[in-house]
Amino acid sequence: MFDPQLLLGLGSGAIGAFIKIKTDADKDKHEMMMAALGFQSESANDANKRGTSWGRRFALIMVLTVGFGGLFYAATMGIKVSQVIEVKPIVDFLGLIKIGGGQKIIEADGFVIPLYVENSIISIIFFLFGSSAAKR
């Protein structure tokens, strides 16, 4: 009928090819991300071309006031703050079979700073003052 060695050889060859394709795709994705980060860093280092220092400081104060003021308003008025988080699957077999995981929404009362606020403010500081200010 079927030769067991032939079946094992074909199966292991298919799995090896799949893993090779996946690692090549991950490598390409990483290289594209690093190229994009290099472009962003170059753009951020040209922050002194984006107007006067007073204009950048005023923009920073407005962003911080609106960002934290909105969260303070939500805390005092009893409005819940929600954030979507990614939960890792319990079982992940080569990216094909995943059990559990997915997106989960967390809601909280009070003065809560969600992750998206932190990332937004860091990005704006990075843009206004350059990469050296955002790394401090």
Task: State the maximum Cα–Cα separation within the chain, in Å, rounded to a whole number.
Answer: 82
How long a stretch of residues is the chain?
A: 136
Of residues 38 and 77, more confidence is placed in: 77
Whether the pLDDT of residue 20 is over 70: the answer is yes
Note the pLDDT of residue 136. 47
Whether the pLDDT of residue 56 is over 80: the answer is no
Domain boundaries defined on the chain: 4-134
CA distances from 107 to 67, 73, 85 (A): 18, 16, 11
Global pTM exceeds 0.75: no
Whether the pLDDT of residue 80 is over 80: the answer is yes
Give the Cα separation of 65 and 135 in Å (integer).
21
Q: Residue 119: how many CA atoms within 13 Å on its side-chain side?
A: 4
Q: Which residues contact 56 (CB under 8 A, 6 or more apart)?
A: 47, 50, 128, 129
Note the pLDDT of residue 134. 47
31-62 b/e (C-beta count within 10 Å ≥ 16 → b): eeeeeeeeeeeeebeebeeeeeeeebeeebee
Note the pLDDT of residue 121. 76
